[in-house]
Every structure is written in C-alpha cells, then in structure tokens.
C-alpha cells in the first residue's frame, strides 16, 4: 500500500492554487480558500496562524483528505490525494477519543481498521503508549483521564500509525496553559529525537508563542477569502528560549503581522478603517474592552503597550486578546501599529469620564461599524422602530457561513445595546430602537 508511493522527493505535501467553496443554507456559495499554494518539505515543522474563520482549519482538513478541494491540486508525495491517506495522521482539538473504548483500544483503532493482527496491534500500541508516557493507563476509559492525559492518548493514537506527516489542529488549545506547554515540549522532544518515522509536522494554532517556539516556518492567513498573507522563516535551533531576545523579537514581529490591516484597507491607519457590511466583527465583549483600555492607560503602560507584554499582564490568550485590540482599533479608541497598541485621545477621554462612556461608544460604533449604522438607519425608518433580525442575518449569510453570521450579529447587538444605539428582544428576535426614542422618531 503506502510503500509504492515515491519517497524520494523532498516535498511531502504540495498544494497548488487550491480553492474551496462552501454552500450556505440559502444556496449561496462562499469562498473559504482562494488560490492557496503550500508546500510541506521533508523535516519541516510549519505553523498556520490566523484569526478564526480565516480558513486555516479548512486547509488542514483538505490536507488530511477530509475535505475535497473545489479547485487546484492537492498532492501527497507526488500522488493526488482524494481522501485520508495512510501516511497522514491527525491530532484533534477536543481529542476525538471514543469514550466507550479504553486507552489501549483507542490507540489500536487505526491498526484494527487496517486489519493488523491482534498481537502486532498490542505490541505497537504498547510502544506508542510508552513513548507518550501513558504506561499503566491502558485499561482506563477516557473519561477517567484529565485533559492533558486525553490528548496524550490522541497523540499516541496518531503516532501508532507511524505517520509520515502529522497534522495537529489546535491540539493544545483545549488544555490549561501549563499542560499545553508541557505537551508541546514533549512533542518537540519526540520530533528532535527522531524516534518516530514522522517527516513533517503541520500545526494550526491560535497561540503565537507556541508557533514561534515550534515552527521552522509560520504562515499567516487572512480571511474572506482565506489565503496566505505572510510567511515567516525561523532558523533558530530548537529548543528555543521564550525569554531570549531573538524569540521575543520574532513574537513581536508575528503580532505586528497578525494585527496589520489587510492591504486593501489602505494606509488609513490614522482614521479608523472603512469596513464593509459583512466585516467579521471581532469577538470582543464590552467589559473586557473597557478593562483593557483602563489597563492600557495606567502604569506601567501609560497609553502604549507591546502586545505580548499585554498578554502576559492580562492572562488572556492570543485568541482572546487580539479581537479586543482589533475592536478597540475599529472603534477608534486605540490604534494598532507594529505589534503595539496605543490609546487615542478619545480613548483617554473614554477612560477618564465614566458618565460619557456609553455615549462615546455609541457614537464611535455608528461612525465606524457599517453594520451597526445600517441597523440603526433601518430602524429609524420604521414607524414602530422595530425590525426582525432575519433580514440582517440574511445579509450577513451572503458573505459568512450561518454560525459566523449569527456570531457577528450577536457582537453587533451587544455593542449596539451598550452604545444605546438599539436594543434586542431575545424571545421575539426583534431589534428595536431604545425605549423612549421611537415616539421621538415618529414625530
């Protein structure tokens, strides 16, 4: 089977001009990946970074053979890839263990599927379990294990197949920070120890530090449609020290790349950016934004902070903090530049006067978030001052998938409520003008 495949080339995975479209519920096709070129070379660790919805998980699934690309070529060791291949294995974000199978049975699953004899299976599973440090837990059910142990089972299950290429889909993000770091270090040790036949490792991550510490190459994805926006080579030897100057500089650089506006928004970083209606509003809740703004204005930052420092200070993860920074930037309360965040004069006023906060927030929201402005504008034309959410959702679904459309509208509603631009009734699903305003509008 896998043996006939050409093992002489140095390119493990090769993607050319890959395209993927999904059909949404109302039959509209959305492009998730567009013109993606990608190569995974022999002996290489590559990390894919990007905000949620940028298509990096989709790309991983195309490489895994779980999803068929709609256009372009996908090749594994020179052969076209139509489905999951023997040489490619995967570790999942929420482990995907079969809860009714013991640790050993879970690890043996792929071997059993391939028809390996029971003795051989037991022998190989034993070795994999030993390798990943789970000896003694063979008979346990997943529910008896902690999160970190479960992910070890997930890794053992993938490694026992002796994969050529291992894919990790945010494999450490469901774990607490310490466990995640521990597992990451163990993984790197395995990789560098060359005790497995693994030739390539592709990780999808939210965590910038993780990517910088692990990868030989980082690809940063942009959304709508998903494509590779930037590439960064890291030639530092592993293991890398988080506190070393080089690593800090790299982390700063990645933050800058991640927070840089897409080129099409132009160089208008001074004024807030002009967005389109279906812009993916960042998942940022108002009280956290306020907290971050306050933190930023105080000692030791005094209005200007290095993003990685802010991550340390707030105990937020990258995928929690970046949307906050993004939202503050959108609303003109802070500015992002070169991996730093700087409070604006308006932001300062916002922090200092508690009474005007909601007013400022509302003004900025209507001025800079087209979706919010559109909702408000449409409501003002209604004599009753109310409209069902349906049409807005439909509008968003034209450029986003159903879940994402709902999420974006939820963010717009939360911001609108806080800024007193409009309100929302959960039970009826109706958006309406704030109490006391509709009569005034009707005059």
Partner 1 sequence: MIKFEYFPRQVIEAGGNRWDWALLPLVLSALVLLAFGAAQMSHPYQIGAPMPIYLDPAYLPYYLLRTTLRMFIALGASIVFTLVYATLAAKNRAAEKVLIPLLDILQSIPVLGFLSITVTGFIALFPGNLLGVECAAIFAIFTSQAWNMAFSLYQSLRTVPGELQEAARIFQLSGWQRFWRLELPFAMPQLLWNIMMSMSGGWFFVVASEAISVSNQNIKLPGIGSYIALALEQRNLPAIGWAIGTMVIGILLYDQLLFRPLLAWADKFRFETEGGETGQSSWLLTWLRRTERLQFIARGGLKVVEKSFSLFRREYDGTSIRARPQPISDKWSRIWDAGIAALVLFAVWRLVTFIHSEVGAGEVARVFLFGFYTLIRVLVLIGLASLVWVPVAIWIGMNPRWADRLQAVAQLLAAFPANLMFPLAVVFIVYFNLNPDIWLSPLMVFGTQWYILFNVIAGASNIPSELRYAAQNLGLKGWLKWRRYLLPAIFPSFVTGAITASGGSWNASIVAEYVTWGNTQLEAHGLGSYIAKMTATGDFPRIALGIGVMCVFVMSLNHFLWRKLYSLAEDRMHF
Binding region for partner 1 (CB under 8 A): 1-2, 5, 61, 64-66, 68, 76-77, 79-86, 88-90, 92-102, 109-110, 112-115, 118, 139, 141-144, 150, 157, 161, 426-427
**Residue whose pair of structure tokens reads 């927070």 in the numeric block:** 259
Least distance between partner 1 and beta carbon 214 (Å): 21
Least distance between partner 1 and beta carbon 355 (Å): 30
Q: Which is nearer to partner 1, 1 or 178 (CB)?
A: 1
Q: Which is nearer to partner 1, 143 or 267 (CB)?
A: 143
Q: Which is nearer to partner 1, 89 or 399 (CB)?
A: 89
For 169: left if phi > 0, alpha if psi spans -120 to 50, otherwise beta; the answer is beta
Of 227, 160, 168, 321, the residue nearest 15 (C-alpha): 227
Q: Which is nearer to partner 1, 151 or 364 (CB)?
A: 151
Least distance between partner 1 and beta carbon 266 (Å): 39
Least distance between partner 1 and beta carbon 88 (Å): 8
Q: Which is nearer to partner 1, 102 or 314 (CB)?
A: 102
Q: Which is nearer to partner 1, 17 or 100 (CB)?
A: 100
The C-alpha angle 204, 209, 210, rounded to 5 degrees, equals 40
Q: Which is nearer to partner 1, 224 or 423 (CB)?
A: 423
Least distance between partner 1 and beta carbon 59 (Å): 15
Q: Which is nearer to partner 1, 163 or 323 (CB)?
A: 163
Q: Length of the chain, please?
A: 443
What would the two tokens of residue 97 be?
A: 């263990």
According to DSSP, the β-strands at 79-80 and 71-76 are antiparallel
Least distance between partner 1 and beta carbon 212 (Å): 27
Instruction: Give exposure, 203-235, as e/b (b: 16+ Cβ within 10 Å).
Output: bbbbbbbbbbbbbbbbbbbbbbbbbbbbebebe
Least distance between partner 1 and beta carbon 291 (Å): 25
Residue 225 preceded by cis peptide, ω within 30: yes
Least distance between partner 1 and beta carbon 313 (Å): 32
Least distance between partner 1 and beta carbon 68 (Å): 6
Q: Which is nearer to partner 1, 117 or 384 (CB)?
A: 117
For 3: left if phi > 0, alpha if psi spans -120 to 50, otherwise beta; the answer is alpha
């Amino acid at each position: 089977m896998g043996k006939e495949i050409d093992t002489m080339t140095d390119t493990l995975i090769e993607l050319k001009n890959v395209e993927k479209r999904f059909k949404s519920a109302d039959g509209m096709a959305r492009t998730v990946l567009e013109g993606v070129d990608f190569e995974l070379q022999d002996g290489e660790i590559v990390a894919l970074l990007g905000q949620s919805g940028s298509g990096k998980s989709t790309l991983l699934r195309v490489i895994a053979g779980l999803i068929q690309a709609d256009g372009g070529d996908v090749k594994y060791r020179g052969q076209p890839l139509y489905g999951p291949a023997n040489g490619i294995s995967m570790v999942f974000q929420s482990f995907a263990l079969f809860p009714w199978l013991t640790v050993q049975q879970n690890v043996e699953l792929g071997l059993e599927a391939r028809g390996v004899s029971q003795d051989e299976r037991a022998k190989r599973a034993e070795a994999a379990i030993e390798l990943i440090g789970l000896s003694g837990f063979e008979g346990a059910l997943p529910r008896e294990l902690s999160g970190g142990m479960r992910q070890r089972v997930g890794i053992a299950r993938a490694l026992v197949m002796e994969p050529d290429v291992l894919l990790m889909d945010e494999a450490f993000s469901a774990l607490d920070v310490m466990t995640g770091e521990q597992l990451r270090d163990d993984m790197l040790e395995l990789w560098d120890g060359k005790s497995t036949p693994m030739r390539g490792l592709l990780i999808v991550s939210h965590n910038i530090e993780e990517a910088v510490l692990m990868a030989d190459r980082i690809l940063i994805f942009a959304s709508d449609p998903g494509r590779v926006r930037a590439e960064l080579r890291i030639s530092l030897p592993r293991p890398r020290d988080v506190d070393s100057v080089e690593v800090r500089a790299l982390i700063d650089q990645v933050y800058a790349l991640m927070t840089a506006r897409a080129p099409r928004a132009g160089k208008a970083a001074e004024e807030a950016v002009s967005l389109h209606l279906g812009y993916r509003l960042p998942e940022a809740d108002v009280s956290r934004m306020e907290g971050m703004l306050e933190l930023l204005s105080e000692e030791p930052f005094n209005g200007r902070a290095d993003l990685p420092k802010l991550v340390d200070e707030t105990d937020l993860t990258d995928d929690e903090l970046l949307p906050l920074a993004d939202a503050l930037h959108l609303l003109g309360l802070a500015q992002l530049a070169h991996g730093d965040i700087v409070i604006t004069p308006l932001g300062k006023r916002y922090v200092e006067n508690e009474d005007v906060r909601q007013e400022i927030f509302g003004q900025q929201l209507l001025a800079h978030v087209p979706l919010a402005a559109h909702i408000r504008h449409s409501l003002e034309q209604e004599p009753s001052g109310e409209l069902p959410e349906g049409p807005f959702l439909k509008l968003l679904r034209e450029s986003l998938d159903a879940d994402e459309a709902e999420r974006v509208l939820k963010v717009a509603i939360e911001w609108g409520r806080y800024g007193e631009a409009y309100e929302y009734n959960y039970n009826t699903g109706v958006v309406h003008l704030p109490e006391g305003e509709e009569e005034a509008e009707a005059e």
